[in-house]
């Protein structure tokens, strides 16, 4: 892409990166052909080609430029600092277990990161929307193995992560989902009553609170990106790589593994997975983490924790998504072609939770799930009642 086609944000980010790399090298480093890769409301992500220079054999880099924090935001949880600390933690790992791009340089004043370019890779979401079931299954298994490998490699490194954050001026360390999950456990009964007319009994609330044990200092903690949705993972020649660590933290490893059970709670691309694929993903993940946490190789121990995590994610997803359907029952994400309707996704989450609850002696949760699904059916009769599998598996393979 030429300069004329680049967005102003990409041009600014790449110019700042050139200045940063030049200061580090002690000589001018030229970056050209900025290409906007998207980003979020908080940041601009761009790729730039690197002119030949005696200090690097890289042909291109990726630049991430963060906007200044908005007035009123909590200064104790700056996503820029979490992204830098996460990338620094991973860069120190051996190449064969490194789950992310290498960090080349960063500048707190410019709020800028320069990262290794992993190439023009498709995302996991792209693979799930392509007509190749074998390829999609392979990538999902790669995601599961990569997740387990990342967790195994970062077990016991929470102190290192904290030290990196403190060097960047960050004092707080917390799972951003934990506060939301606790709010969901406290507030969802009232929300379900007001929105759907569903009463949450005391036993159902008690069963849901079993997931609280996963939010604290368990013995199964490792790094989590906090957002492992399909569009935040790149499929590269070296396997699946995780990107976007603005909310990186350490938490119980089963919380991320349970993404497979929901699946992908509240993600834009939150379609269903074939049961055989989901089971194979969990097997692939467990094979990576079992050498570090042998207890998780015990089916009863793992199933109990996965059930708690799934229950927690369904309550959290409903807490996050249900208020939106009071305004409009639209797609979860901005792209309606790649995102299910909220009410359809919620039906699926609760149906899956019913099956898990019925099989794990959580009768009140199973009954609550039936009530929520029935209420959603009655409230949104025009919405599809069944969540389809990802397009890659709609031909019957998988």
Q: Dihedral (C-alpha) 102, 104, 106, 111: value to the nearest 10 degrees?
A: -70
Range(s) of the chain covered by CATH 3.90.1200? 122-393
Asked whether 230 and 269 are in contact (CB, 8 A), the reply is yes
**Residue 165 phi, psi dihedral angles, 5° rounding:** -65, -40
pLDDT at 116: 93
State which fold the 3-116 domain adopts.
Phosphorylase Kinase; domain 1 (3.30.200)
The fold of 122-393 is: Aminoglycoside 3'-phosphotransferase; Chain: A, domain 2 (3.90.1200)
Tens of pLDDT along the chain (398 residues) come to 344 367 889 999 999 999 999 998 888 899 999 999 877 768 899 999 998 766 677 889 999 999 887 776 665 568 899 999 999 999 999 988 898 999 999 999 999 999 999 988 899 999 999 999 999 999 999 999 999 999 999 999 999 999 999 999 887 677 878 989 999 999 999 999 999 999 999 999 999 999 999 998 889 999 999 888 999 899 988 888 998 898 899 999 999 999 999 999 999 999 999 999 999 999 999 999 999 999 999 999 999 999 999 999 999 999 999 999 988 999 999 988 899 999 999 999 999 999 999 999 999 999 999 999 999 999 999 999 999 999 999 986 55
User: What is the spatial distance between Cα 130 and Cα 135, in angstroms, rounded to a whole number?
Assistant: 9
**Numbered ranges of CATH 3.30.200.20 in the chain:** 3-116
The pLDDT, as a whole number, for residue 3 is 40
Assess whether the previous peptide bond of 250 is cis (omega < 30° from 0).
Answer: no
**Could you tell me which of 351, 324, 392 has the C-alpha nearest to residue 136?**
392
């Amino acid at each position: 892409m030429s300069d004329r086609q680049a967005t102003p944000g990409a041009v600014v980010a790449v110019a700042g990166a050139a200045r940063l790399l030049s200061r580090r090298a002690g000589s001018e480093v030229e970056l050209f052909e900025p290409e906007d890769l998207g980003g979020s409301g908080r940041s601009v992500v761009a790729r730039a080609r690197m002119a030949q220079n005696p200090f690097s054999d890289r042909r291109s880099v990726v630049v991430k430029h963060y906007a200044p924090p908005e007035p009123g935001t909590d200064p104790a949880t700056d996503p820029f600092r979490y992204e830098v600390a996460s990338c620094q933690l991973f860069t120190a790992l051996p190449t064969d277990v490194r789950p992310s791009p290498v960090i080349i340089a960063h500048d707190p004043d410019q709020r800028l990161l320069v990262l290794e370019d992993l190439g023009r890779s498709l995302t996991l979401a792209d693979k799930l929307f392509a007509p190749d079931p074998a390829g999609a299954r392979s990538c999902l298994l790669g995601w599961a193995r990569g997740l387990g490998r990342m967790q195994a490699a970062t077990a016991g490194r929470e102190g290192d992560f904290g030290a990196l954050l403190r060097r960047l001026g960050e004092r707080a360390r917390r799972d951003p989902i934990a506060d939301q999950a606790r709010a969901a456990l406290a507030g969802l009964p009232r929300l379900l009553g007001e929105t759907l007319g569903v009463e949450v009994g005391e036993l159902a609330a008690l069963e849901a609170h079993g997931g609280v044990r996963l939010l604290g200092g368990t013995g199964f903690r490792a790094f989590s990106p906090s957002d492992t949705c399909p569009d935040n993972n790149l499929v590269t020649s070296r396997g699946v790589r995780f990107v976007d660590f603005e909310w990186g933290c350490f938490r119980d490893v089963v919380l991320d593994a349970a993404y497979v059970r929901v699946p992908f709670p509240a993600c834009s691309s939150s379609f269903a997975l074939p049961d055989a694929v989901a089971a194979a993903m969990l097997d692939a993940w467990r094979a990576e983490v079992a050498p570090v946490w042998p207890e998780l190789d015990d089916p009863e121990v793992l199933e109990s924790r996965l059930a708690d995590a799934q229950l927690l994610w369904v309550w959290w997803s409903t807490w996050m998504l249900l208020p939106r359907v009071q305004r409009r029952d639209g797609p979860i994400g901005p792209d309606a072609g790649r995102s299910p309707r909220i009410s359809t996704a919620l039906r699926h989450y609760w149906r899956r939770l019913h099956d898990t609850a019925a099989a794990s002696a959580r009768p009140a949760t199973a009954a609550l799930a039936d009530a929520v699904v029935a209420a959603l059916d009655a409230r949104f009769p025009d919405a599809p009642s069944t969540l389809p599998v990802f397009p890659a598996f709609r031909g019957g393979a998988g």
